[in-house]
């Protein structure tokens, strides 16, 4: 099966990888719901919402800085590097990710659609100012926009918020117009990302799932491999 996947990728004019928390977990990044100490008192749904930010922006920022502290020293793994390599091999290659950790960019991927935002990016709650800040500490909490003085917030998609229309439209377009889609480390239950492999399949795309566990899309994929991203990268390299 791996030989067939490699053959399809070599022949593809365009390929897409849809990635989820599983690929980052192999870099040591805990899942979204991991918590300890103070944060055991809170549910993510009580902190990652616009209403939580309105109620207590300092508390929300403290949680996000804690989350940054769990990610700041983590490095991309062989799964991330495989996708960066494929971008140099396939004429057009895109990574569509549900992750907010920025590891795909660190690995060298350039064509990245971040469906849920980026934990290292901050944006103004009023004027649209954005900046990247790779730090888990701040002098002022909550931080304020240097342009207009309004509160800055993490540039991530919270519960109760819609995905960026531009990001979602691009993800759908690339999913339906590629030759091969790799679905790596995603549970395939979080919408609307979970629908992308189905859209691809309906458009005649060759869909490959890489996940240690079965998911709701396993049966519809052309190839479904019970392995993690690192094992897949190591195994596929032999055929590329």
What mean pLDDT value characterizes the chain?
93
Task: Render pLDDT for 47-95 as a digit per residue (tens, 0 to 9).
Answer: 899 999 999 999 999 999 999 999 999 999 999 999 999 999 999 999 9
Q: Does domain 31-73+120-156 bear CATH number 3.30.1600.10?
A: yes
Residues with a known catalytic role: 116
Q: What is residue 141's predicted lDDT score, i.e. its pLDDT?
A: 95
Give the CA distances from residue 166 to residues 42, 50, 53, 162, in Å, rounded to whole numbers and listed in that order: 32, 20, 24, 11
With a cut of 60, say whether residue 33 has pLDDT above it.
Answer: no
Instruction: Map out the domains of the chain as residue ranges.
Output: 2-29+75-116+162-237, 31-73+120-156
Give the CA distances from residue 58 to residues 52, 53, 95, 142, 227, in Å, rounded to whole numbers and listed in that order: 10, 8, 33, 5, 40
Q: What is residue 34's predicted lDDT score, i.e. its pLDDT?
A: 47
Task: Render pLDDT for 103-153 as a digit per residue (tens, 0 to 9).
Answer: 999 999 999 999 999 999 999 999 989 999 999 999 999 999 999 999 999
Task: Render pLDDT for 85-101 as a digit per residue (tens, 0 to 9).
Answer: 999 999 999 999 999 99
With a cut of 80, say whether residue 237 has pLDDT above it.
Answer: yes
Confidence of residue 10 (pLDDT cuts 50, 70, 90): very high
With a cut of 90, say whether residue 188 has pLDDT above it.
Answer: no
Instruction: Return the CATH number of the domain spanning residue range 2-29+75-116+162-237.
Output: 3.40.50.1220
Give me Rg for the CA atoms of the chain: 18
Q: What is residue 149's predicted lDDT score, i.e. its pLDDT?
A: 97
- Say how many CA atoms lie within 13 Å of 190 toward its Cβ: 18
């Amino acid at each position: 099966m791996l030989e067939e996947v490699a053959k399809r990728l070599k022949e593809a004019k365009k390929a897409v990888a849809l990635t989820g928390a599983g690929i980052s977990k192999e870099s040591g990044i805990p899942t979204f719901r991991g918590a300890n100490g103070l944060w055991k008192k809170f549910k993510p749904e009580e902190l990652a919402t616009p209403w939580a930010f309105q109620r207590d922006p300092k508390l929300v920022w403290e949680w996000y800085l804690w989350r940054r502290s769990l990610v700041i020293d983590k490095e991309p793994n062989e799964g991330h590097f495989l996708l960066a390599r494929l971008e140099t091999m396939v004429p057009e290659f895109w990574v569509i990710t549900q992750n907010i950790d920025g590891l795909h960019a660190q690995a060298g991927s350039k064509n990245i659609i971040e469906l849920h935002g980026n934990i290292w990016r901050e944006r103004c709650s009023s004027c649209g100012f954005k900046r990247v800040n790779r730090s888990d500490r701040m002098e002022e909490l909550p931080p304020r926009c240097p342009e207009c003085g309004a509160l800055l917030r993490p540039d991530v998609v919270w519960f109760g918020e819609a995905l960026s229309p531009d990001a979602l439209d691009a993800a759908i377009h690339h999913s339906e117009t590629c030759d091969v889609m790799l679905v790596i480390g995603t549970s395939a239950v979080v919408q609307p990302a979970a629908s992308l492999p189905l859209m691809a399949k309906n458009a005649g795309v060759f869909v490959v799932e890489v996940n240690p566990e079965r998911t709701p899309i396993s049966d519809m994929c052309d190839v479904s491999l019970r392995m993690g991203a690192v094992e897949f990268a190591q195994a596929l390299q032999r055929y590329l």
